[in-house]
A and B are shown apart, each in its own frame.
Chain A
Amino acid sequence: MDQHRVTITFTLNGKSVTMDVPGAMNALTLIRERLKLKGTKEGCGIGECGACTILVEGRAVNACLMLAAQLDGRDVQTVEGLAHEEGLSLLQESFVKHHAVQCGFCTPGLLMSAKALLAENPCPDKAAIAQAISGNICRCTGYQQIFDSIRHATGAPTGEEKT
């Protein structure tokens, strides 16, 4: 099928990337199939599950609902960009420490939604966390250990006692 192609340049996990992509390709396909970053998952393809959540200009978005072309000129972060040379980020450490990971398929998306939240609100209460991750379905944990992980991820004093 003939497709219009576009050349896009964007920052991916801190590095500049230039690519030629079909106009109809979505950002998830670009990330998984072209860039081979498999941490971002496809759970539904229609923006209902949040497993493909990435950060674009710091905002959590469903990569399956965004065109690859829309990434042009933007800063993009995926789960692979969270850890640094010295090791895991505070948020990742907290997910591990508070046992927020079971099957792990929703984990990358949840981490990205949580990162976007903490950038805006470093001391979120449970309601703010619940709101921020409401687009990320987790079928394993019941979310409670995820709430705990996010609340304890910044090292900042928390508003509530740990349950």
Chain B
Amino acid sequence: MDKAYRTIGKSILRTDAVDKVKGLAAFSADIDLSSPPLVLKVFRSGIPHAKIIKIHTEKALAIEGVLRVFTAKDIPGKNLLGIINKDQPLLAADKVRSAADAVALVAAETEEAALKALDAISVEYEKLPAVFSPEDAMAADAPLIHPKGNQLAARFVKKGDVEAIFQQCASVIERTYRTSMVEHNYLEPDAGIGYLDVDGTLVIYASTQNPHYDHKEIVTLLGVPDDKVRIIQATTGGGFGSKLDLNTQGFIGLALYHLKRAVRCVYTREEAYLATAKRHPLTIHMKTGADATGRLRALRAKIICDTGAYGSYGIAVMSRAAVHATGPYAFEAIDVESLCIYTNNPFCGAMRGFGTPQIAFAHESQIDLHAEDLKIDPLQIRLLNALRPGSETATGQVLTHSVGISQCIEAIRPYYESAISQWATAEHHPYKKRGIGVGAMWYGIGNTGVQNPSTARVEMDLSGAVTLYTGCADIGQGSTTILTQILAETLGLSPEQINVVAADTQFTTNAGATSASRQTYISGNAVKDAADKLSDVLRTEAVNKLRVSKKSLVFADGCVAVATNHEKCVDLASLAKRIHAKGAPLVWQGYFDPETVPLSPTDGQGIPYGTYAFACQMAQVVVDVLTGEITVERIVAAHDVGKAIHPENVKGQICGGTAMGIGFALMEEFKPGETKSMKDYVLPTSMDMPEVIPIIIESHEPSGPFGAKGVGEPALIPTAPAILNAISRALNQRIYTLPANLERVLDASIQSGHFAGRKK
């Protein structure tokens, strides 16, 4: 039952596009104030684990143009940051836990003076033994990185008796998978600028995914009242999870608090590499069993996440990896243990997918191994096992609606079959092997088994003009456009008629983080809730004027009209004035929090998410067996998004996620201490991109705004599994460690006998 929408489902002009193509959108480093801001630079430890004995700042302070050098003792409030667990000081007080740890903050008149000051600071340390792998960190004699031990947290998901079922399985596969540390490499390095307002408020413009979280952290850090800090999201050049942490904001807040002068902090790319979160490298031991027909029955997994020196979003990654370990398939019995372990590596946090891209590499390799073992077609075995309405997930949640995985798989099928019958068999160079691979995924929208509400405010003035106030940070994915569409549709307006105030803590209420693919579903619903309330008061008032029942009224072109006769209408401005005269509200607050049930700490049973996105992708790859070079020729990507509110935005997410997935599959690996700048980090360019065919599947989600779910993270998740499965088909040799770079592919080629030109 698809209604004829005015705006929903239409790829309207993005709210920010024109400013961006003109070069006028002001990112944090672009904002000019009336007087030049002071320059902030951070002194970082450079050593992975040590006690701080003494910090020497005298020489730095003597440099002309240097105003202050701050250390931990200058922090007036609580010097501990972290969205889930608080374990990261803004400035190290007693010890450093990674080479990136901030120890001192310089404020100077010029960049030159600030850089000289960094050179002039010295710290006396007592070095401590350091550990760089979770295995070493879990050893009995390992040095303690944090006082409570090196295991930050554990998540268990258990259901049924896996061992008993493995005994009955015709096919049992057990393997170990490893994934790399990945750098987000958003194009805009972290930056922010702050000034003191006339009333003493600390105003901070920042490149951020979560202004309200930033606000809370800075208020606590400085020990000041809520209304003395205002965070405004500047135009933000991508985030992909890393801008969920406080990066420059805390430093700006601290300097503003003390100096009461405008300050700017802009990371170089090198500092963004060194000091911001990375994707967790995971080690995944997985054992799965299937019956002779290919039906998956039992899964056991042990997952180890290296969170580096601090927790950041590590607990979320650990939990999400565990909850998603089955992939989009039904199992009878599960036994998953997922651990989050501190090391002295750079801290790892949120990155697009929160552990799901890593775990998908494991479950999609496993299902392909079963397919090979049982001689079943890879697409067929996925279809056989796909979750459907009525299926029960690993956490005991019964899915009722919008389970579009089978539709995604079926959408791939024509491309898959023609690739097999035509492309794979077409004449090609003997040293360039062709492979077709499939990858599927599911992804819970929103945070895992915890409340994660969003709010929004919709306001109509007496002229009938509508303003949306949302805390939601648009980091380039287009959420402001989407929220505007949802509001415009509800009130029968054109999107360009809506004013938007977004991501400013003084004027907007909390919409939660731009993460977990949650803003369309959760903030979209909050906006819709507010819009519905305003709609109701407008239609109620229109009843008086039009003398028909409320349910026969619709919104049309800035009026409320009788559904069957649009000539009979009353304009919004008249209604607004009448409502106002009666003292009824024209300002409405909206709210939404998905229905979840916290997961049991012992067996992970519960309802982690209100809804799930699903996807299936196919990759066609060519493997040069003599060089190890991989060419991805085509990706077909079918994604169930519930409803595509803005189809071209959805396609943009799919294509962009696919590119990031290609990087994750084939090239991206951040090596602490070695990867220092973009010259050391390989990521996909235009030359690496295949043809991508995005296919939008719309399996209506009743709890979503106009049926929508989310797509931001799902876009990336199936790509690496599809590519790795394709490489495996091409070489007849599987790679278990990401990325499948030249060395690993060449090694697989040699192992399989292709390098010598022999068939195995």
Contact = CB atoms under 8 A, between A and B. Distances in A.
B29 A103 contact: no
Contact of B13 (A96, A103, A105, A140): A96
A80 B23 contact: yes
A43 B652 CA distance: 22
A57 interface: no
B17 A96 contact: yes
Contacts of B94: none
A138 interface: yes
Contact of B685 (A37, A45, A134): A134
Interface in A19-52: 36-46, 48-49, 51
A44 B677 contact: yes
A36 B656 contact: no
Interface in B225-265: 235-238, 240
Contacts of B659: 139, 141-143
Nearest to B680: A48
B187 A103 contact: yes
Given A39-B24, A102-B652, A140 B678 contact: no
Given A44-B678, A45-B269, A137-B685, A102 B656 contact: yes
B678 A136 contact: no
A79 interface: yes
A24 B117 CA distance: 21
Given A105-B237, A142-B689, A144-B655, A83 B185 contact: no
A89 to B, nearest CB: 9
B186 interface: yes
Interface string A47-91: 011010000000000000000000000000011101100001000
A90 to B, nearest CB: 11
Contact of A41 (B21, B188, B478): B188
A98 B647 CA distance: 12
B476 A49 contact: no
A131 B188 CA distance: 23
A139 B240 CA distance: 9
B372 interface: no
Interface string A124-156: 000001110111111111111111000000000
Given A101-B17, A102-B477, A130-B689, A145 B187 contact: no
Contacts of B742: none
Contacts of A111: 21
A75 B652 CA distance: 35
Contact of A88 (B18, B240, B476, B693): B18
Interface string B2-25: 000000000101101111111111
Given A1-B112, A49-B678, A103-B187, A145 B648 contact: yes
**Interface-central residue, A41, A46, A80, A139, by most chain B CB under 10 Å:** A139
B476 A130 contact: no
Nearest to A83: B22
Contact of A137 (B187, B475, B691): B187
B657 interface: yes
B569 interface: no
A156 B158 CA distance: 61
B16 A104 contact: yes
Interface string B668-697: 000000000111000111110101110000
Contacts of B240: 139
Nearest to A42: B29
A140 B21 contact: no
Contacts of A51: 187
Given A103-B188, A103-B476, A106-B187, A145 B651 contact: yes
Interface in B337-362: none
B43 to A, nearest CB: 20
A143 B476 contact: no
Interface in B621-661: 648-649, 651-652, 654-660
Nearest to B112: A1
A36 B686 contact: no
**Interface-central residue, B187, B655, B687, by most chain A CB under 10 Å:** B187
29 contacts: A37-B23, A38-B23, A39-B24, A42-B189, A44-B678, A45-B269, A46-B269, A95-B21, A96-B13, A96-B18, A99-B11, A99-B649, A101-B14, A102-B656, A103-B188, A103-B238, A103-B476, A104-B20, A107-B20, A134-B687, A137-B187, A137-B683, A140-B656, A141-B655, A141-B659, A142-B655, A142-B656, A146-B686, A147-B686
Q: What 5 A-B pairs have minimum CB-CB distances, sorted nearest first?
A: A39-B23, A103-B476, A105-B237, A104-B20, A142-B659
Given A78-B23, A104-B20, A133-B686, 19 more contacts: A36-B32, A38-B27, A45-B269, A46-B269, A46-B677, A46-B679, A49-B269, A88-B21, A99-B17, A101-B20, A104-B16, A105-B476, A111-B21, A134-B686, A140-B238, A140-B656, A143-B659, A144-B692, A145-B652
Interface of B: 11, 13-14, 16-27, 29-30, 32, 112, 184-189, 235-238, 240, 268-269, 475-478, 648-649, 651-652, 654-660, 677-679, 683-687, 689, 691-693
Interface of A: 1, 36-46, 48-49, 51, 78-80, 82-83, 88, 92, 95-96, 98-99, 101-108, 111, 129-131, 133-147, 163
